[in-house]
Amino acid sequence: MDVVMGYLDTYVFDGVYNQAAALTSTTPLPRDSLLRQSLSLFVFIYAYIVAFYFGTAGLSYRFIYDKKQESHPKFLPRQKLLEMACASRALPTITLMTVPWIMGQLHGYSMVYKEWSKFGYVYLGVSAVMFILFTDFCIYWVHRLEHHPLVYANCHKLHHKWIVCTPYASHAFHPVDGYLQSLPYHMAVFIFPMHEYVYLALFAFVNVWSVMIHDGEYMASNAL
């Protein structure tokens, strides 16, 4: 993430903060300012997840999703727009709660590393498998917890509103629900080492996967 933020500081944020300082007759926030880093991370993460969500879900809806499902009696009126609106309300809060984890990575508290050969090249693949197993295990139990009667109604029930869902349902949930289900992806690199590019690639993959499991293409109806 520090590589990404380095490019953004150079080509975007330096100019933004300098202009803001000029307009307010103040000193520009330096790159090592925690306030600046937090603000920059929020803007970047929010812009990324919004673009990724609408882009990936949009492509899935256009080319994969079976539109015949929209004639199902449990498909809600204007459901696609409702899913988009629900996700749009949730994403700012989820982003805000995510920033401290990324700040921890930027300040060296995680086990993300840069040298490809630091733990050997075989470990790159091993760490990817560990990431998938760890996050899938954790999310299973988070999901189980969210179905507890004391939690379900106030947190997870909203996501099950979309009984016959479209790809846009992938991020259409209560902000706390979305944050809790994303936690394992952030926790992983604080528990075992991962190369920064392997981690970024897997993080992008799980976002695509989240859309895929809501695209209505179920192998249960496949002859195989």
Q: pLDDT tens, 195-211?
A: 999 999 998 899 888 88
pLDDT of residue 207: 87
pLDDT of residue 224: 47
| pTM attached to this predicted model | 0.87
**130 CB-side CA count, 13 A:** 17
Q: Which residue has the tokens 């300012």?
A: 33
Pick the closest to residue 97 from 44, 42, 163 (CA basis).
Answer: 42
Chain centroid to CA 14: 26
Lookup: tokens for 195: 């190369």
Tens-digit pLDDT profile for residues 153-193: 999 999 999 988 999 999 999 999 999 999 999 999 999 99
pLDDT of residue 217: 61
Q: Residue 221 — pLDDT band, cuts 50, 70, 90?
A: low
* Mean pLDDT rounded to a whole number for the chain: 91
pLDDT of residue 66: 86
Pick the closest to residue 86 from 190, 143, 185, 168 (CA basis).
Answer: 168
Residue 152 contacts residue 177 (beta carbons within 8 Å): no
**193 CB-side CA count, 13 A:** 13
Pick the closest to residue 200 from 95, 91, 121, 127 (CA basis).
Answer: 127
pLDDT of residue 223: 53
pLDDT of residue 99: 96
